[in-house]
Structure 1
Amino acid sequence: MNLLYEDLGYFDLTTHGLGIGEKQATMSFAPKGEVILCGVDEVLKVMRELNIEHKFHKRDGDCVEGKEIILECKGDAASLHKAWKISQNIFEYMSGIATYTNSLVVKAREINPKISVATTRKNFPGSKELMLKSVMAGGGVIHRMGLYDSILVFEQHLNFFNTKEELESAFTKLKYEFLEKKIAVEVEDYKDACYFASLGADILQCEKMEYATLKKCVTLKEHYPHLLLSATGGIHESNIEEFAKCGVDFIVTSSPYHAKPLDIKVTIKESL
């Protein structure tokens, strides 16, 4: 994906029309408020592609205070204006996700220091790499990158089995065919949680459960010590602490993908 060309196209009509393209200038980036920074690798590619002299003062995952300089650049005005907005957008969107994710992690770990906050594969199509990198910069982990990296049984899979015997045979085959993989099953109530725990599920993904039901499902760990449980569905910044209190091993959420971009101020000045 050529992020630069997406914005640049063939010409920068404004800079060309004003006749300022050959003037030498400086450009700097700084957040207006505190952020968890993300987007350094992507902006670095932009700088290199345009042969802009640059110096990064921060790395992905750094906590950056308001007005702290992230990046300083030198070059001709034409190149700096080409790099300006795409670089700003990268920093603002990716840092927004990283900062929001970090807030979730901090809130959850104040309750349970060992809990993980993981994100789903419900990212905006075409943006997976950028979104996942942002989540990781914020201290989150990846629940599923796609269909290829993990096994998760949904109701949509179970609908293809007409009898319990047929399902149990297929489930046993699945476990032995993929011995190195943990088998996760999405469950919506305590009855299903008990059933799939008894079949040998490694992970129960508890979907949109009420707190009391979720806490009851956690008690299954007493009978199945290997069992891991996650809470998922509708979890965000304002309620994650409640879910962390119930004893699940990790929390699965898509909410970081909807995080608001954060303001990164860009200053461009002619070199005197």
Structure 2
Amino acid sequence: MITPLPDLLIAPIVRAALAEDLGRAGDLTSQACVPAEARLSVIWAARRPGVLAGLDCARLALAELAPEVGFIALADDGDTLSPGQVLARAEAPARAVLAAERTGLNLMGRLSGIATLTRAYVDAVAGTGVRITDTRKTTPGLRQLEKYAVRCGGGVNHRFGLDDAILIKDNHVAACGGVRPALERARATAGHLVKVEIEVDGLDQLAEALPLSPDVIMLDNFSLADLRKAVAMTAGRVTLEASGGVDLTTVRAIAETGVQVISVGALTHSAPGLDIGLDAA
């Protein structure tokens, strides 16, 4: 069971999306064509197989325009969906339904697409013990929702922002003058609850980093042979995260090298939306 996000976190995003769509004059089409007193019964349904995420976005989009609406959820985020499966139903003023339709579907389709792709990666490494994690390659303004969608698909979250943890990447190493000075400065300033991770691009940098005891070492674009060597070199002393060159055709082989974590930017930057529709019931 996926712990849902509080409405407090979702509502501002939904509200901003509605405001963008309604613009300066509201839904001109519905105002022109649909009687103010008309009501509409509708269902949300999956049109393709996938994994559900973001059903609350549809609920809150409608609730913003019709606070009294009765929205009945028939599925939960994290559920595996079949084509034609009904996810929710509602009966509300027709103008509110039509004005909220696209906002709810855009967000739910986007998040369900991320959850669906994440599930594919998680299934691909099943049995290896490897954890699939996301990155900060998210849509501006949607990070908390997109990372929630990763959890719905069975993945885990990397840091949410620059303030979560210390992650020393290649450009930090260059700016600091090397792996050792970068790690020494990080260790000198990190609070006792702040983890320190460093990205290395070769076995020589890995050997330099190990004596300084980072919490996590990211192996960036390592070959499979070098990943196996890195696992042997570290012998379980540090968490190893593989990154770069990861797709559904390579992820299993990477997982079988013995790393503990694989980070996949594609989960959020390349996931196709899941086709979900809203239809009159």
TM-score, normalised with respect to structure 2 = 0.87
* Counterpart Cα distance in 1 of 2:115 and 2:224: 27
- CA positional deviation for 1:237: 2.1
* Counterpart Cα distance in 2 of 1:4 and 1:208: 41
> Within 5 A, what are the aligned runs for 1:53-68?
53-68=70-85
Deviation track 1:53-101 (CA, whole Å, cap 9, x = no partner) reads 2101111111122111101010121111012111111221110001100
3-state secondary structure, aligned to 2:259: coil
Which of 237, 240, 255 lines up with 1:226 in the alignment? Answer: 237
* Counterpart Cα distance in 2 of 1:164 and 1:16: 62
* Counterpart Cα distance in 2 of 1:165 and 1:140: 32
Counterpart in the other structure of 1:26: 41
- CA positional deviation for 1:221: 2.8
User: Which residue identity is paired with 2:20?
Assistant: E
Which of 102, 113, 122 lines up with 1:96 in the alignment? Answer: 113
3-state secondary structure, aligned to 1:75: strand
The 1:168–1:144 alpha-carbon spacing in structure 2 relative to 1, beyond 3 Å, is: closer
- CA positional deviation for 1:165: 7.2
- CA positional deviation for 1:24: 1.9
- CA positional deviation for 1:162: 4.3
Counterpart in the other structure of 1:179: 192
**In the alignment, is the contact (CA less than 8 A) between 2:51 and 2:115 conserved in 1?**
yes
Counterpart in the other structure of 2:3: none
The 1:165–1:34 alpha-carbon spacing in structure 2 relative to 1, beyond 3 Å, is: closer
**In the alignment, is the contact (CA less than 8 A) between 1:53 and 1:75 conserved in 2?**
yes
Please tell me the root mean square deviation across aligned C-alpha atoms, in Å: 1.9
* Counterpart Cα distance in 2 of 1:232 and 1:88: 32
User: Which residue identity is paired with 1:159?
Assistant: A
3-state secondary structure, aligned to 1:238: coil
User: Which residue identity is paired with 1:78?
Assistant: R
**In the alignment, is the contact (CA less than 8 A) between 2:53 and 2:149 conserved in 1?**
yes
* Counterpart Cα distance in 1 of 2:243 and 2:63: 41
Counterpart in the other structure of 1:4: 18
- CA positional deviation for 1:22: 2.4
> Within 5 A, what are the aligned runs for 1:200-215?
200-215=213-228
**In the alignment, is the contact (CA less than 8 A) between 1:202 and 1:226 conserved in 2?**
no
3-state secondary structure, aligned to 2:175: coil
User: Which residue identity is paired with 2:54?
Assistant: G
Deviation track 1:26-67 (CA, whole Å, cap 9, x = no partner) reads 111111122210112222211222222210111111112211
Determine which structure has more spread, i.e. the larger CA radius of gyration.
Answer: 1
3-state secondary structure, aligned to 1:160: helix
3-state secondary structure, aligned to 1:193: helix
After the TM superposition, which segments of 4 or more aligned residues of structure 1 sit over 6 Å from their partners? none
Tell me whether 253-262 or 156-165 shows the greater mean CA deviation: 156-165
* Counterpart Cα distance in 2 of 1:31 and 1:88: 11
- How many matched pairs? 263
User: Which residue identity is paired with 1:46?
Assistant: A
3-state secondary structure, aligned to 1:141: coil
3-state secondary structure, aligned to 2:159: coil
The 1:96–1:84 alpha-carbon spacing in structure 2 relative to 1, beyond 3 Å, is: same
* Counterpart Cα distance in 1 of 2:224 and 2:253: 8
* Counterpart Cα distance in 2 of 1:165 and 1:108: 33
- CA positional deviation for 1:164: 7.6
User: Which residue identity is paired with 2:19?
Assistant: Y
* Counterpart Cα distance in 1 of 2:166 and 2:179: 20
Counterpart in the other structure of 1:117: 132
- 5+ unaligned residues in a row in structure 2: which ranges? 1-12
The 1:232–1:166 alpha-carbon spacing in structure 2 relative to 1, beyond 3 Å, is: closer
Counterpart in the other structure of 1:256: 267
**In the alignment, is the contact (CA less than 8 A) between 1:27 and 1:267 conserved in 2?**
yes
> Within 5 A, what are the aligned runs for 1:30-45?
30-45=45-60
* Counterpart Cα distance in 1 of 2:251 and 2:179: 35
Counterpart in the other structure of 2:254: 243
Counterpart in the other structure of 2:10: none
- CA positional deviation for 1:107: 0.7
* Counterpart Cα distance in 2 of 1:164 and 1:244: 26
TM-score, normalised with respect to structure 1 = 0.90
3-state secondary structure, aligned to 1:109: coil
* Counterpart Cα distance in 1 of 2:160 and 2:106: 24
Counterpart in the other structure of 1:142: 157
